[in-house]
Structure 1
Amino acid sequence: MNRTKILIAGLGNPGQEYDNTWHNFGFLTIDEFQRQNGFPDFIVSQKFHALISEKILDDKKITLFKPQTFMNESGKSVKSLLTNHHNKIAMAMLLRGFIVIHDDVDLPKGKIRISKDKGTAGHKGIDSIIKTLKSKNFGRIRIGVRPTDYVPGSRSLNQFVLKKFTKNERKIVAKAIKDANEAIKMIL
């Protein structure tokens, strides 16, 4: 049987020091999707520099993956996995079933946007993927991380996205992850 293949990448940085930071929203969302839908545990793939979990869901072969190359080099991991899964299919076909989940400083904390065929907006992980694939024609679930009190140019957002969530922010985080998982289901 020739099932539709869907590859969902959750972006983040590997390592405990990055757990529960805004920059790891992609990882957190994928982890929750895995749990909610009974996917097997993630396995380490040295070949793809990623953590991978696969399952048939609604007659589609879904591959969840979390690149372990650090955010700014996500494209390497993504390209190796995509070309392996679709080695004889044109890139345009391959990208139709590809979704990336990532943090977005252009959106307020907790806000979700679904987009396709957009630029990087300064996101280094997305920049790496677009440059490596030579295309921006893939689906994205963007999760807002911009602080409500942020004034452009007043301080570096880079420092903010790598900070751990505060106790008060955990409700925003939980709702954003829930909403992002609803967005995944809607896309599928």
Structure 2
Amino acid sequence: MKMIIGLGNPGKQYEKTRHNVGFQAIDELAERLNAPVMQTKFNGAYTIIHRPEGKVMLVKPLTYMNLSGECVGPLMDYFDVELEDIVVLYDDLDLAPGKLRLRQKGSAGGHNGMKSLIAHLGSDSFNRIRIGIGRPQGGMKVSDYVLSTFGKEEQPLIDEMVEKSASACITWLDSPFLEVMNNYNGA
């Protein structure tokens, strides 16, 4: 089974915020893959899709960003999913809106959701897709910025990156992640 995890915060007030692009990518994937309705267990919402390549689980941790590992770790244990069989989608301040970066491992880079995942999984060697949201301007606090919505000029770039990240995940279902990286990095 392959597991695709989108990081975000639960609740209507966070739906369109910068911090929730991972959830948006999961929603895009669910639509494209005709996923069954998500069920809630293990502090998260998830669904399992049966495909010719095998089973695919889409996951949205409902623990709030900083505790994402509390959902993902137990889910991986219960369904016996290996580290090389996951991809994590999340927002990245160090990338401009409209930029994607795919990696097979790395530090949390200051992202609290990734810190939680690394702590609960005991490794930083797992596939990830970073979706650029840019840095705050004019002295805005990072915590306020990531919980803000995108500006009118940014939204088309974000929509495109959500679509591209979903396409990268679909490509990964039957291709090595290294190949997916080569095709989508810099997109």
Structures share a fold, TM > 0.5? yes
Alignment of 1:69 with 2:68, yes or no, is no
> Which residue number in structure 1 is paired with residue 161 of structure 2?
176
Aligned length: 173
- Decide whether the 8 Å contact of 1:114 with 1:183 is kept in 2: no
Deviation string for 1:132-163 (max 9, x for gaps)?
A: 1110111001100014x748xx4422211110
Gaps of 5+ in 1: 87-92
What secondary structure sits across from 1:164 in the alignment?
coil
> Which residue number in structure 1 is paired with residue 152 of structure 2?
167
| Counterpart Cα distance in 2 of 1:119 and 1:167 | 32
Amino acid of the structure 1 residue aligned with 2:119: K
**Displacement, 1:129?**
0.5
> Which residue number in structure 2 is paired with residue 14 of structure 1?
10
| Counterpart Cα distance in 2 of 1:110 and 1:71 | 22
Gaps of 5+ in 2: 174-187
Alignment of 1:39 with 2:35, yes or no, is yes
**Displacement, 1:52?**
0.8
> Which residue number in structure 1 is paired with residue 179 of structure 2?
none
- Correspondences of 1:28-177 after superposition (within 5 Å): 28-45=24-41, 48-86=42-80, 94-147=82-135, 150=137, 154-177=139-162
* TM-score, length basis structure 1: 0.87
- % of aligned pairs identical? 34
Amino acid of the structure 2 residue aligned with 1:110: G
**Displacement, 1:56?**
1.3
What root-mean-square deviation, in Å, do the aligned CA atoms of Structure 1 and Structure 2 show? 1.5
More strand by share: 1
What secondary structure sits across from 1:108 in the alignment?
coil
Deviation string for 1:89-129 (max 9, x for gaps)?
A: xxxx7101011100011111121111011000000000000
| Counterpart Cα distance in 2 of 1:30 and 1:84 | 21
- Decide whether the 8 Å contact of 2:14 with 2:147 is kept in 1: yes
**Displacement, 1:174?**
1.0
* TM-score, length basis structure 2: 0.87
**Displacement, 1:170?**
2.1
